[in-house]
Amino acid sequence: MTAAAALLERDVPVATRVLTLPEHTIEIVSDSGEGAQKCGQIFGAVCAKMGNGVWTVEIIPAEIQPPPRIAEGASGIRIRFATGPVTNWGDQTDLVVAFNEQVLVGRHLLGALASDAIILLENSWASNPDPDIKAAWDQALAELSGYGYRIIEVPMEEQCLTVDDNPRKGKNMFALGMLAYIYDRSLERIEEQIAYAFRRKSEAVYAKNVALMRLGYGWAAANLDFRIEIPTTPPQQALVVMNGNEALGMGALASGMELCAMYPITPATSVSHYLAEVFRKFGGILHQAEDEIAAAGVAIGASYAGKVAFTITSGPGLALKTEFIGLAVMAETPLVVIDVQRGGPSTGLPTKVEQSDLLAALVGQPGDAPHVVMAPATIEECFHSVVTARQIAETFHTVVVILSDANLSTGVQPFPRPQLRKEWLAPELDLSPVEEGRRPYEWDPRMGTSTRPVPGQPGGMYTLTGLSHDEASKVAYDAGIHQHSTTMRSRKIAVLQQTLLRPAIYGDHEGDLLVVGWGSTKGAIEEAIDRARAEGLHASSTHLTFLSPLQPGLKEIFSRFRKVMTVEINYSDPPGEPFITEENRRRGQLAMLLRAQTLCDVDCWTRVPGEPLRPGLIHAAIRDATIGLAGGRA
Amino acid sequence: MPSDERVVSALSALRPAIGRYRVAASDTLERARAMLAFEPGPSRTRAALGAFADGRIDPERFALVSSGADPLDVTGREVVEHIVELLEDILGASDDQFFVPVGQAGGAAEAIRARLAGLGTAHTAARILDLVKRHSYDLLRHGSPSDGYPFERWTAAERALAPPLVVRLDGSGLDALELAPLVDGCVRLVLIVDGPAAPAPLARLVSPGALIAQVDDASLLAGLAEFDGPAVIAVMQGQEARFVHDPRAGSAPWKRLRVDRMPTVPPRKTLGSRSAWQQRDDLAHLKALVEPPSLAHSAAGAGNGHADPTDRLTAWLIEQSGQAGVA
């Protein structure tokens, strides 16, 4: 008899209803430090391994340790899982496990809960001796009772105290057990995942967590009158489950990059945590520099010495690296810069997602500093993008910026296990003597590329400089030389553009509305397009991977739609707001770029909510944008 | 494997140097294999760009830009394949290839040169790979990789990676002057000497940067791994001089040179190509090198023995200071 069966046999309610659904979205929310995220990570990983499509998003308060029991301090995780693939975090939560009523209210106020959401709520606060807490509980439940939620009070603390003296340490595993019961997850797999999550802890810690999980499972089996079945599809191929930052780190490793220089910054830091662990096993250097600028300098130095290196940062760090990115462009030293975007400007919203670094990444450097900017749209693409970025950086001796974001960095998604290729690795360093008379910047006028002698190559010595220089790398302020060298650095990017393919169109290749996105919004946009098309709207989308240079054919593609609109997680002035005119309206960053590059009237719909865009909101925006479009070309 | 214990222990002591040579040859082999494995063109470019580029980058067009490593032409491929065979042979052979037995007929220097030329194939291979890569290899001009690479043509970098050799030879055939041109880079020659030899045949090789020794057994070789320079060490069995000239021991000849035994009976017969006088002169040379300069001699010559005024003044000052005769 399995553990699950044994628990079920104990005391099963007679009238247990089983709902079979194609997908469900759940949240576990708590105060910081109560382990809600670990509970969700384990649950999400188990769902993925059992054959569900999964997307998780961590709910992280803006402060590291906000006061307990406040609506703004909700910390937790959302897991959207389905029978088929899942590409985004969805709209609203169908089931919530809340460790106190205040964090639940916080999610309610943000509109995160579906109108018929099932809520499993810790009820120890109802009998708390502190009259203020009791009053807050009463007020919150009175407020929430006005909606259609089904609130089930759960004595989590009371139950957990039978296993652990500190209920704050155990509720997350109790909640995991309840979810395992509700969604009929394999207890064996859950215990395996608990063992993995606590692999650095003692056996006693593992045993206690398993006991708490089983306690939750048993309580749910004895007290809940429903279960929910999300059918699984056993994966046909080996899958890996990881978040975007792990995928970036793994991609760097797979691409043969042996040095990452960085300075800690949310939400990019966990890439370095990952690399610190794996570099120790497989070789490589993780250098935590004294600041962002030094980190860029170390990476450039390593690349100059022949090892293509990368540096990783977030918005404020990208600003600090600006000068050195310019140096790498001028010196034509290959460099990969990963920017895991967060809300800004300044320190902004460190833990929240935004796509506001696009223009800074494109044109943030003073002077003319052409380089490559690309954006993965999924966690799987985070992995593969690093391989491509290194190849481009090395081929064109240029800077490649990868724009990820906080949505991808903490989101978890299963994807096919990459089959590593030796072609991904950096080619062997060519230390053969440099041909006599060959100059370091002997630009090929067709391609704009030049040779790249590395230290140690006989006859390859030259002075590396950020100053304007001639083909021999001699400092040269001559107008003709600067014009020529600037042309060559720009030509490389044009040549790369000539190798790019037109972006794919999701939906019909002509119609009323074309939504253009980039980065992590892809899944939400395409789901919104599906909904719109199901309603009969003639909407399609395209998702740009290369932002510099832009993929070809955009103007022609745009011409086949009556309206083109970007959807982005950055700010734009909503039309109709005070003082906003067509002339002074600030548009989304991609919209600005596309308008400049294509001379098309590209509109935008953008939001900066500090969370990923919901497909439902995009769907609504598509509806609004298509009003009045049908029936004739604009 | 040679059965002589002296040869075995010498080869064992030279293992670090043999390892360095093998690593260099192995690196060259890897380069050659990589050149053969390199398949330029869209399929390789597609693989190199990874899945992210699928449907976004045209591998055919990208390959036109990225084919920095040009494809091998037919001739180039044949040459590289030949190099791979040669290097596989070198790396697959035992350490016996670093042992050179010289017959009674002599000709040690020729035998050593021939072996170095053969092992120098690893250097030739690296050089020819570079030429093939740059499409400038010309068989008539640059020769075949298997032609052998005479030591005289080795570059400084190649001499620094010279394979070490253990040479077994008859004492009568040991002529240091024939070996002198080989004392360079990191050449290491351990001479296992059979039968009687001239008393100090290696004395003529002593120079500031070379480790030169005549010893009883191979124990000295243990410290050879840390020495960065050329070395010639004779392991001898007879009554010849025993000395060690180690450049690390000091800046002056008498500090670098330690003589452990000097023959008491001067040589009176010709041995091999060395006349008795030449042998006695080798010994005198050794004695002169190990002798520290005597200040007493300088002082005694003050005022009349030195032609140079500075020397005379120096000697006089030493004499006045009461330091004369202090070594």
CB A613 within 8 Å of CB A570: no
B61 with A424: Cβ contact below 8 A: no
- Say yes or no: B36 contacts chain A, CB-CB below 8 A: no
List of residues 6+ apart from A225 with CB closer than 8 A? A13, A15, A16, A17
Number of domains in chain A: 3
Q: Using one digit for the tens of pLDDT, what is the confidence trace for A230-245?
A: 999 888 889 999 999 9
What is the rounded distance in angstroms from the CA atom of residue A317 to the CA atom of residue A265? Answer: 8
- My answer on whether A166 and A65 are in the same domain is yes
A388 with B49: Cβ contact below 8 A: yes
A17-20 vs A226-229, strand pairing mode: parallel
pLDDT at B68: 55
- My answer on whether A193 and A219 are in the same domain is yes
Q: Which of A619, A448, A478, A450 is nearest to A537 (CA)?
A: A619
Residue B3 or A314, more confident? A314
Residue A437 lies in a domain: no
- My answer on whether A255 and A345 are in the same domain is yes
Q: Using one digit for the tens of pLDDT, what is the confidence trace for A404-443?
A: 999 999 999 999 999 999 889 987 777 878 888 889 999 9
Which of A197, A229, A261 delimits the end of a domain? A229
B57 with A501: Cβ contact below 8 A: yes
Tallying the residues shown for chain A, one arrives at 634
Q: Phi-psi bin for A287: left (phi > 0), alpha (psi -120 to 50), beta?
A: beta
Chain A residues near residue B44 by CB distance under 8 angstroms? 423
Q: Using one digit for the tens of pLDDT, what is the confidence trace for A487-542?
A: 999 999 999 999 999 999 999 999 999 999 999 999 999 999 999 999 999 999 99
The secondary structure element, H or E, covering residue A324 is helix A322-331
**Domain range list for chain B:** 5-292, 293-327
- My answer on whether A288 and A217 are in the same domain is no
What is the rounded distance in angstroms from the CA atom of residue A537 to the CA atom of residue A531? Answer: 9
Chain A residues near residue B41 by CB distance under 8 angstroms? none
Closest-CA distance, A388 to chain B, in angstroms, reads 5
Which of B52, B54, B67 to probe the A interface (max A CBs under 10 A)? B52
Q: Using one digit for the tens of pLDDT, what is the confidence trace for A125-152?
A: 999 999 999 999 999 999 999 999 999 9
Q: What residue of B is the nearest CA neighbor of A500?
A: B57
Which of B48, B50, B129 is facing A384, going by the closest CB pair? Answer: B50
pLDDT at A9: 47
- Domain housing A511: 505-626
A423 with B55: Cβ contact below 8 A: no
Residue A431 lies in a domain: no
Which of B30, B52, B58 is facing A388, going by the closest CB pair? Answer: B52
- Say yes or no: B94 contacts chain A, CB-CB below 8 A: no
B49 with A387: Cβ contact below 8 A: yes
Which of A399, A424, A449 delimits the end of a domain? A424
Chain A residues near residue B50 by CB distance under 8 angstroms? 255, 384, 387-388, 391, 421, 424
- Band (pLDDT 50/70/90 cuts) for residue A169 is confident
Largest alpha-carbon pair distance within chain A?
A: 89
B133 with A432: Cβ contact below 8 A: yes
- My answer on whether A221 and A255 are in the same domain is no
CATH, residue A557 = 3.40.50.920
Amino acid identity for residue A310 in this structure: F
Chain A residues near residue B49 by CB distance under 8 angstroms? 387-388, 391
Chain B residues near residue A504 by CB distance under 8 angstroms? 55
Q: What residue of A is the nearest CA neighbor of B61?
A: A499
Radius of gyration of chain A (CA): 27
Amino acid identity for residue B141 in this structure: R
Supply the pTM of this predicted model: 0.77
Chain B residues near residue A542 by CB distance under 8 angstroms? none
CB A495 within 8 Å of CB B65: yes
Q: What residue of A is the nearest CA neighbor of B131?
A: A432
A496 with B65: Cβ contact below 8 A: yes
Q: Using one digit for the tens of pLDDT, what is the confidence trace for A271-313?
A: 999 999 999 888 899 999 999 999 999 999 999 998 889 999 9
Which of B56, B62, B130 to probe the A interface (max A CBs under 10 A)? B56
Is residue A121 pLDDT above 90, yes or no?
yes
List of residues 6+ apart from A401 with CB closer than 8 A? A325, A336, A337, A338, A339, A361, A371, A372, A373, A374
Residue A494 lies in a domain: no
Q: Using one digit for the tens of pLDDT, what is the confidence trace for A67-83?
A: 999 999 999 999 999 99
- My answer on whether A223 and A253 are in the same domain is no
pLDDT at B326: 55
- My answer on whether A31 and A114 are in the same domain is yes
List of residues 6+ apart from A128 with CB closer than 8 A? A134, A137
What is the rounded distance in angstroms from the CA atom of residue A34 to the CA atom of residue A98? Answer: 11
Which of A428, A449, A545 is facing B56, going by the closest CB pair? Answer: A545
A498 with B61: Cβ contact below 8 A: yes
pLDDT at A11: 52
Q: What residue of B is the nearest CA neighbor of A431?
A: B130
Q: Using one digit for the tens of pLDDT, what is the confidence trace for A320-341?
A: 999 999 999 999 999 999 999 9
- Say yes or no: B252 contacts chain A, CB-CB below 8 A: no
Residue A489 lies in a domain: no
- Three-state SS for A155? coil
Q: What residue of A is the nearest CA neighbor of B33?
A: A428
- Tell me which DSSP letter residue B292 carries: P
Chain B residues near residue A421 by CB distance under 8 angstroms? 47-48, 50
- My answer on whether A41 and A128 are in the same domain is yes
pLDDT at A10: 47
- Band (pLDDT 50/70/90 cuts) for residue A259 is very high
- Band (pLDDT 50/70/90 cuts) for residue A4 is very low
Which tokens belong to B173? 């055939």
Residue A474 lies in a domain: no
Residue A614 lies in a domain: yes
Residue range A609-626: mean pLDDT, rounded: 96
Which of A395, A408, A542 to probe the B interface (max B CBs under 10 A)? A395
- My answer on whether A561 and A420 are in the same domain is no
B50 with A388: Cβ contact below 8 A: yes
What is the rounded distance in angstroms from the CA atom of residue A195 to the CA atom of residue B60? Answer: 48
Interface of B with A in 112-131 (CB under 8 A): 129-130
pLDDT at A1: 38
Residue A132 lies in a domain: yes
- Say yes or no: B156 contacts chain A, CB-CB below 8 A: no
Quickly count: other Cβ atoms within 10 Å of residue B311's Cβ.
14
- Say yes or no: B57 contacts chain A, CB-CB below 8 A: yes
Residue A440 lies in a domain: no
CATH, residue A205 = 3.40.920.10
Place of tokens 């109790």: A174
- Band (pLDDT 50/70/90 cuts) for residue A216 is very high
Which of A423, A500, A545 is facing B48, going by the closest CB pair? Answer: A423
- Say yes or no: B55 contacts chain A, CB-CB below 8 A: yes
What is the rounded distance in angstroms from the CA atom of residue B132 to the CA atom of residue B105? Answer: 42
Which of A365, A398, A424 delimits the end of a domain? A424
A387 with B52: Cβ contact below 8 A: yes
CATH, residue A340 = 3.40.50.970
Identify the segments of chain B with pLDDT beneath 70: 1-3, 67-71, 105-106, 294-307, 322-327
pLDDT at A314: 97
Q: What residue of B is the nearest CA neighbor of A433?
A: B130
What is the rounded distance in angstroms from the CA atom of residue B261 to the CA atom of residue A598? Answer: 92
Q: What angle do CA A613, A615, A621 make, to 5 degrees?
A: 90
B57 with A384: Cβ contact below 8 A: no
Is residue A631 pLDDT above 50, yes or no?
no
What is the ipTM score, two decimals? 0.91
The secondary structure element, H or E, covering residue A394 is helix A379-396
